[in-house]
Amino acid sequence: MPSNGARLHIAIQKSGRLSRYSRELLREAGLRIQSGKNDLTARVDNFPIDLMLVRDDDIPTFVADGVCEFGIVGRNVLEEFALGRKEERFDVIAPLGFGHCALKLAAPRGADYDGAQCLAGQRIATSYPRLLGAWLERQGIEARVVRMSGAVELAPRLGIAGFVCDLVSTGSTLEANNLAPVETVLESEAVLVRTRMPIDEAKQRAADNLLKRIDGVLATQGSKYIMMNAPEDALAEITAILPGVEAPSVIPLAGRPGHFALHAVCQETVFWETLHDLKQAGASAILVLPIEKMMQ
């Protein structure tokens, strides 16, 4: 792959479960992604950044080798890769809050299964042989791991294996193949990873900028801006009720002595129960607003 001087490279999944959300996150961080003619890369207009559009399984290699400084990839793919390498050559910077799924063991529906010992001596088909192998070892179970690169869910029907160990997101693939989950090997979601290879100064500046913006996007996930009016003697109680708020802004209301407007950023979800409690404590005219951007 040709390396391009001072441009930062971010590897994301070309097509699949993570690709849309990966692009969305970068867009929310302010990156204007060109829809390029070429299939392998997409240029960012307003930053010295190129996206590499690749298979998710290739992302850990690209980041570990420093071909891409950053990558967005599922923890499942990353950990399977890491188990095959002696030294870690990337750092996980942050979980990204999307792409939630789990690596699960599944059995044909209706099969007898009452615990991991049922797997002893059985054949298990998977594209995650290292994660499965490590899990079996932790359980102290010896089983035959049958490595498949895809269509793992077909293995029992084809007589290749009695069990499968595959990624489950909605569960519809298992269901369509008459399989039922029996054990969870790993919970996963998309994470942002960064190479441990040295990054030159110019790229480092772009990297710092990018990370600050991604931080801003992640910080607003689930957080809300909340406003309300309240009498002075209720302010302490109200502040205590607000989730994840330390120092709200308190603004005097014109023409209403002893009454204030209270504004705050809630870092946690604001539930209807919270609003109810606020009202009980004396708040009125409560408004909860989404936050689009935030920089600390």
Q: Which residues bind to Zn ion, rule: CB under 5 A?
A: 56-57
Closest distance to Zn ion from the beta carbon of 17 (Å): 9
Least separation, in Å, of the C-beta of 44 and Zn ion?
24
DSSP H helical ranges for the chain: 19-28, 59-64, 75-82, 129-139, 155-158, 172-176, 201-220, 235-241, 272-280
User: In whole angstroms, how close is the CB of 171 to ligand PRP at the nearest point?
Assistant: 5
How crowded is the C-beta side of 108, counted as CA atoms within 13 Å? Answer: 12
Q: Binding partner of residue 172 among Zn ion, ligand PRP, none, CB under 5 to 8 Å per kind?
A: ligand PRP
Measured from the CB atom, is 16 or 121 closer to ligand PRP?
16
- Which helix (H) or strand (E) is 285 found in, with range? strand 284-290
The DSSP secondary structure of 194-239, one letter per residue, reads EESS---HHHHHHHHHHHHHHHHHHHHTT-EEEEEEEEGGGHHHHH
Per DSSP, the three-state class of 90 is: strand
- Is 238 within 8 Å of 262 (Cβ atoms)? yes
Q: In the beta sheet, which residues pair with residue 181? A: 106
Quote the tokens at residue 289.
Answer: 């607003």
The smaller minimum CB distance to ligand PRP, of residues 14 and 224, is found at 14
What does 38 interact with, of Zn ion, ligand PRP, none (CB < 5 to 8 A by kind)?
none
Report, in Å, the least distance between residue 146 CB and Zn ion. Answer: 18
> Which residues of the chain form contacts with ligand PRP (CB under 6 A)?
16-17, 56, 150, 166-173
- 50 binds, options ligand PRP, Zn ion, none, Cβ within 5 to 8 A by partner type: none
Least separation in angstroms between residue 57's CB and Zn ion is: 5
* 15 vs 204 by CB, closer to Zn ion: 15
| 169/178 with CB nearer ligand PRP | 169
Q: Which does 239 bind (CB under 5 to 8 A by kind): ligand PRP, Zn ion, none?
A: none
Work out how close the CB of 166 gets to ligand PRP at its nearest, in angstroms, rounded to a whole number.
5
Q: Helix 75-82 to helix 129-139 angle, to the nearest 10 degrees?
A: 80
CB-nearer residue toward ligand PRP: 176 or 285: 176
122 binds, among ligand PRP, Zn ion, none (CB under 5 to 8 A by kind): none
**Cα 200 to Cα 43: distance, rounded to the nearest angstrom:** 20
Q: How far is the CB of 248 from ligand PRP (least distance, A)?
A: 41
Residue type (1 letter), 281: A
CB 97 within 8 A of CB 74: no
Token couple for 211 = 């990370």
Q: What is the distance between the alpha carbons of residues 118 and 33, in angstroms, rounded to a whole number? A: 50
Q: Which does 66 bind (CB under 5 to 8 A by kind): ligand PRP, Zn ion, none?
A: none
Between residues 3 and 172, which has the closer beta carbon with respect to ligand PRP?
Answer: 172
Query: From Zn ion, ligand PRP, none, which one binds at residue 184 (CB under 5 to 8 Å depending on kind)?
Result: none
Cα distances from 234 to residues 59, 251, 265, 276, 280, in angstroms, run: 53, 14, 18, 14, 10
Decide whether 166 or 199 has the Cβ nearer to ligand PRP: 166
Residue nearest to ligand PRP (CB): 173
How many whole angstroms separate alpha carbon 159 and alpha carbon 174? 16
**Residue 104 binding target from ligand PRP, Zn ion, none, CB below 5 to 8 Å by type:** none
